[in-house]
Amino acid sequence: MLDLSKYQSVGAALKDALDQFPAEICLIESDREREKERLTYREFKQRAHPLARALQDTGFNAGDRAAIIMTNQSKWLISAYAIFYCGGVLVPLDYKLTPNEQWQLLQHSGASVLITEYPIWRQLSGSTLRSALISVTSPSRIKATPATSSHLPIAG
The pLDDT tens digits of the residues spanning 12-23 come to 888 899 999 999
- pLDDT for residue 80: 95
Total structural domains within the chain: 1
DSSP 46-90: HHHHHHHHHHHHTT--TT-EEEEE--SSHHHHHHHHHHHHTT-EE
Does some domain include residue 137?
A: yes
Round to whole Å and give the CA distance between 24 and 98. 39
The answer to the question of residue 127 being in a domain is: yes
Label residue 126 by pLDDT band (50, 70, 90). Answer: low
Contact 144, 134 (CB under 8 A): yes
- Does 156 fall in a domain? no
Q: Is 151 a domain residue? A: no
The 10s digit of each residue's pLDDT in 35-52 is 888 999 999 999 999 999
Q: Which domain holds residue 94?
A: 4-146
Band the pLDDT of 65: cuts 50, 70, 90.
very high
In a domain, 70, yes or no: yes
Q: What is the mean pLDDT of residues 99-106?
A: 86
155 lies in some domain: no
The whole-angstrom separation of Cα 49 and Cα 86 is 10
CA-derived radius of gyration, the chain: 16
Helix, strand counts (H, E) of the chain: 5, 7
Q: Is the pLDDT of residue 135 over 80?
A: no
Q: Which CATH number goes with the domain that contains 58?
A: 3.40.50.980
Residue 153: inside a domain, yes or no? no
Residue 128 has pLDDT above 60, yes or no: no
Please give the pLDDT value at position 134. 55
